Chains A and B, each alone.
Chain A
Amino acid sequence: MDYFAVVLLEILYMIAFLALTSAGLAVVFGMMRVINLAHGEFVMVGGYTTIACYRAGIDLWFAMLVVAPLVVGVLGLIIERLVIRHLYGRMIDTMLATWGLSLLIVGLVTLIFGNSAVSVQAPISSYEIGQYQMGGYNLFIIAVAALLMIVLWLVMRFTRLGLVARGAMQNRDVAASLGYNPGRIYMWTFTVGAALSGLAGGVLAPLTGLLPSVGSSYIAKAFITVITGGAAIITGTLSSSLLFGTVNQIVSFASMPVVGEIAMLTLAIILLRLMPQGITGRFFKNSA
């Protein structure tokens, strides 16, 4: 019984991890049809920002929840103005450009922080379920992911901002004809997407050893989660995170983590063969 609870919590954690790390990519892909291959590096910069702030004596919570998203958001804004906006509608070119950007960011971070792993201790202590010790910080990650999804949904569903965003998503020309500048909307979308990646990097920093090259391990999982989820930001991310997180962890528990990852990737291939437009291309078509 205790073991069952442990497995369940690990599944929840994996779902939260996937949702959190893919949210930024999903927002940008869903709204702008831009695949940002520097997404993993945004997450990585969020982590480094958190650790740099923490070392400078800033409160860890403030650093990960406020400073990291802000810094990466501004980074995203700059990149959008300098690079991305010239490449709208050219998906392959954007992928190439953002991939180049990712290399640049890795190089810069290496230059500043060096190439050895840095980390910060988890600020929440462990707790017990029966005879099992569990990381308390994992619960915080689950809470942040849940909160993030709820806030995203509320904004998209009930605010004027969300309405405009959804409008631009469905048809940018109509949105433009109604007086909303699509360029401006895209600029803020990219910034928000980057900020979400920064948030993910910040809150995940205490759970991993951070290296400048760590971005590549985030982008792979985020990429398949977003593509399998399809264009709808919230439903898409949630449905694919749910599916992949559950499959990955159940298989990991039954055999070992490597097989868990293989199962997840195999499932992604099968899903994309059956639903090339992603899960939300087939089901929940009118969701946000």
Chain B
Amino acid sequence: MSVSRRQFLGSLSSVALGSMLPVADSLAQGAPIKVGSVLDNSGNLDIYGKPMVMATTLAVEEINAAGGLLGRKLQPIQYDTQSDIALYTKFAQQLVRQDKVDVVHGGITSASREAIRQTFTRANTLYFYNVLYEGGVCDRNIVVTGSTPAQAVEPIMDVAMKQWGKKVYILAADYNYGQITAKWIAHYAKERGGSVAKTDFFALDVSDFGSTIAKIQQEKPSFVISALVGGAHMSFYRQWAASGMNKKIPLASTTFGVGNEHLALSPAEGDGILIAGNYSQESTDAANKDFLARWSKRFNDTKIVHEIAVSQYQGIMLWAECVRKAGSLKREDMLKAIESGVSIVGPGGTVTIDPKTHHAALDIKVMEVKNQKLTVKSTVKQRPPLDTARYCDLQKNPKENKQFEVNV
């Protein structure tokens, strides 16, 4: 059978038209609500971004299956930023000017968030940043649903210092997240009558920790706490175990598990590491079990579900709750709903927006790595974002727009 170019184009366009039919369908009941998202679905950071994109898809599909919001369907508009900051600014502009979205959920690293935040603030487009970060952003246009150091660090320091003792050795990634988290660790250690033996910072591509491991042994701390980030820093945990230190000095971490590090280490290497965060797949809460069942039905594999994927899902659900409460998408109505202490129950527990800071109060779990799983040891309910709250009061200063450097 021979097909002429014209015939081919003809059939192609009819296929395209056919696939647009569902959109036309939803137009009948009012234009869809546009939910924009910018996430790294490829490149270096896709270990974080891919599950977040899946979480976005799942959340939007679930809301649509339940009838949408305000009688309108949601239309996701998703851009892959390819782990490239330049693409963030480009797609943020596109979302605001061309697609004219009603809300944006996205950004992974703090650098990417700061690259796009002002674009949304200027355009009065509501922005949800759903990732744990170093804290301090104060801007009425943004809602942050991930945890900040003050939320996760204090519970873990409580448990670790009670279990192991008062002398702390800190290892952290050398950028704003690590630097600020290290300050909080030192703060909480001293508050509890402890001391910091030493603090070492590592550029993101450092993968040899031999000298550090020797120095740790010289200092003999009660325990080591790490805020190391990314693939290269994985080497620390391996070299730590290879030198047999994991049997001698206990290890805690604020970041371990976020990139599913516990799956890459063997049980012998990873067992016993203490961590704190909002989410564990092992949580027996009904909300979590139900969520994992739905995820596995949609994507088969639940292995890759991590804290910030759950965080993204919770962020979208929280936004949907705000829309229901506001009864409209108008900015003033939405802000009123956001600042009404709105709350949902997600896979990570209850998430409540704090009206003063636009950050979220979260349930923080202290967990232990056991046989490549994050076993929950204890839970601190509704931990408020104390670090940001020190500086930020959007009720008093609604025009505030900056990131405070938390200094303790």
Task: Identify the A interface with B (CB < 8 A).
Answer: 3, 6-7, 10, 13-14, 17, 115-119, 121-122, 125-126, 131-138, 206-209, 211, 213-214, 216-217, 249, 252-253, 256-258, 260-261
A–B pairs, 8, beta carbons within 8 Å: A13-B210, A115-B47, A117-B231, A121-B266, A133-B217, A133-B243, A257-B211, A258-B206
Instruction: Please provide the chain B residues from 221 to 257 with a CB less than 8 Å away from any CB of chain A in the complex.
Output: 231-232, 234-235, 237-239, 241-245, 248
**Chain B residues, CB < 8 A from A213:** 44, 231
- Please give, as numbers and ranges, the residues of chain B lying within 8 Å of A121 by CB-CB distance: 238, 241-242, 266, 268-269
Q: Are the CB atoms of B238 and A208 closer together than 8 Å?
A: yes
B210 and A119 form a contact (CB under 8 A): no
Q: Are A10 and B232 in contact (CB under 8 A)?
A: no
Give chain B residues whose Cβ lies under 8 Å from the Cβ of A211: 231
Contact B235 A209, beta carbon cutoff 8 Å? yes
Bound: A121/B241 CA distance, A? 9
CB distance from A21 to the nearest CB of B (A): 11
The CA-CA distance from A149 to B288 in the complex, in Å, is 55
User: Shortest beta-carbon distance, B241 to chain A, in Å?
Assistant: 8
Q: Is the CB of A3 within 8 A of B214?
A: yes
User: Once the chains are docked, how many angstroms separate the CA of A258 from the CA of B175?
Assistant: 12
Taken together as a complex, chains A and B put the C-alpha atoms of A69 and B112 apart, in Å, by: 40
Q: Is the CB of B231 within 8 A of A214?
A: yes
- The CA-CA distance from A37 to B266 in the complex, in Å, is 32
Q: Contacts of B266 on A, CB cut-off 8 Å? A: 119, 121
Contact check, A207 vs B269: say whether CB atoms are below 8 A apart: no
Between B44, B46, B210, B268, the greatest number of chain A beta carbons within 10 A of the residue's beta carbon is seen for: B210
If the complex has contacts A119-B234, A213-B44, are A135 and B243 also in contact, measured as CB distance less than 8 A?
yes
CB distance from B366 to the nearest CB of A (A): 24
How many of chain B's residues touch chain A, expressed as a range? 35 or more
Residues of A near B263 (CB, < 8 A) are 116
- Bound-state CA distance A121–B244 (Å) is 12
Query: Which of B174, B231, B238 is close to A206, meaning CB atoms less than 8 Å apart?
Result: B238
Contact B208 A209 (CB under 8 A): no
Contact A7 B214 (CB under 8 A): yes
Tell me, in angstroms, the Cα distance from A208 to B210 when the chains sit together.
Answer: 12
- 15 additional contacts, CB 8 Å, given A116-B260, A206-B238, A213-B44? A10-B211, A14-B208, A115-B46, A115-B47, A117-B261, A121-B242, A133-B245, A135-B210, A138-B242, A209-B232, A249-B211, A252-B211, A256-B202, A258-B203, A258-B206
B264 touches A (CB below 8 Å):
yes
Which one of A138, A217, A257, A261 contacts B200 once the chains associate, using CB atoms below 8 Å? A257
The 8 Å CB contact of A209, one of B50, B214, B244, B264, is: B264
Known: A125-B244, A207-B242, A258-B174. A6 touches B214 (CB 8 A): yes
B245: A residues at CB distance < 8 A: 126, 133
> In the complex, A119→B265 CA distance in Å?
7
Shortest beta-carbon distance from B237 to chain A in Å = 8
Cβ of B44 and Cβ of A256 under 8 Å apart? no
A51 to chain B, nearest CB (A): 11
B212 at the interface (CB under 8 A from A): yes
> Which residues of B approach A to under 8 Å, CB–CB?
44, 46-47, 50, 174, 200-203, 205-212, 214-215, 217-218, 231-232, 234-235, 237-239, 241-245, 248, 259-261, 263-266, 268-269, 304
Closest to B267 in A: A121
Query: Measured between alpha carbons, how far is A281 from B248 in the docked complex, in Å?
Result: 48
| Contact yes or no, B264 A257, CB < 8 A | no
* A208 in contact with B217 given A126-B243, A133-B245, A257-B202 (CB within 8 Å): no
Cα distance A156–B197 in the bound complex, in angstroms: 50
B47 touches A116 (CB 8 A): yes
Q: Which residues of B contact A137 (CB under 8 A)?
A: 242
Q: In the complex, how many angstroms separate the beta carbon of A177 from the nearest chain B beta carbon?
A: 47
A143 to chain B, nearest CB (A): 16
Contact of B206 among A7, A125, A134, A257 (CB under 8 A): A257
A257–B237 Cα distance when bound, in Å, is 16
Partner of B248, one of A133, A206, A249: A133
A171 shortest CB reach to chain B, Å: 40
Contacts of B217 on A, CB cut-off 8 Å?
A: 6, 131-133
Check if A3 sits within 8 Å of B231, measured CB to CB.
no
Assembled-state Cα–Cα distance A3/B45 (Å): 38
Given the known A-B contacts A116-B259, A121-B269, A258-B206, are A207 and B239 also in contact in the complex, defined by CB atoms under 8 Å? yes
In Å, the complex CA distance between A122 and B203 comes to 24
Q: Does B212 lie within 8 Å of A217, measured CB to CB?
A: no
Which 8 residue pairs of A and B lie closest in terms of their CB atoms, listed nearest first?
Answer: A209-B234, A126-B244, A211-B231, A135-B242, A252-B211, A135-B243, A122-B242, A208-B235
Query: What residues on B are CB-neighbors of A135 within 8 Å?
Result: 210, 239, 242-244
A207:B206 contact, CB within 8 angstroms: no
Asked if A126 meets B242 with Cβ closer than 8 Å, knowing A208-B235, A209-B231, A256-B201, the reply is: yes
